[in-house]
Structures are given as structure tokens and as C-alpha cells.
Amino acid sequence: MNEIRLYTTPQCGYCRLAKALFDRHHLAYREIDVSGDPLTRARLLEMTGRQTVPQIFIGSRAIGGYEELSAIERAGRLLAMVGDSPSPDPEQAVP
């Protein structure tokens, strides 16, 4: 299974939507709060060319933000990108 990394800030509505989408599919993700971390935000800008959150990575692939994630889900490609069956326990989704 490819690791899902979700770079967020607490006040971000699109971040909450992205987490809810992963939770609906019972997909585990690692949330990284960048609100007080200018170094990580600078690295994200270098990696993605974007300053906005969420920034979502599946494996080593940067997929973008919530709108790109939602489009991938609507196209039926999300589970294939993750590469495995979802975790059965949604309470275990966020480490």
C-alpha cells in the first residue's frame, strides 16, 4: 500500500474535506500540520510549486490539493493509486 501524506493546517476547510474523503474509504493517512512549520512549508513549495494546503502525496507522487483528490476519486482511480485494499478500522486511519 502506498503511504498517503496529507499536509494541512487546522483552519483549512479543504483539508477537512480531504480527510473526510480518505475516512469514507477507510484509507490510512499521515497528517502533517504545517501551520507552525515554515521549513516544511518551504519544502512543500519546492516540491509542488504551491503554497496552499492541503497538499496530498500518494506514495512519492504529489497529486495536488482537494480538488485533484476529488477528481481522482470521481474517476474511480483512488484505490488503484493507493495500491491496496483499505484498512478495515476507520478508527485506526490516522496514526
Enumerate the domain spans of the chain: 4-86
Separation between Cα atoms, residue 57 and residue 88, nearest integer Å: 21
Amino acid (one-letter) located at 38: P
Among candidate residues 33, 31, 44, 28, the one with its CA nearest the CA of residue 82 = 28
Among candidate residues 8, 36, 35, 14, the one with its CA nearest the CA of residue 94 = 8
Cell, residue 78: 483512488
Among residues of the chain, what percentage have pLDDT more than 90? 84
Confidence at 84, pLDDT banded by 50, 70, 90: low
User: Residue 46: its pLDDT value, please?
Assistant: 94
User: Residue 88: its pLDDT value, please?
Assistant: 43
pTM tops 0.95, yes or no: no
Q: Taking all residues of the chain, what is their mean pLDDT, rounded to a whole number? A: 89
What CATH code would you report for 4-86? 3.40.30.10
Confidence at 86, pLDDT banded by 50, 70, 90: very low
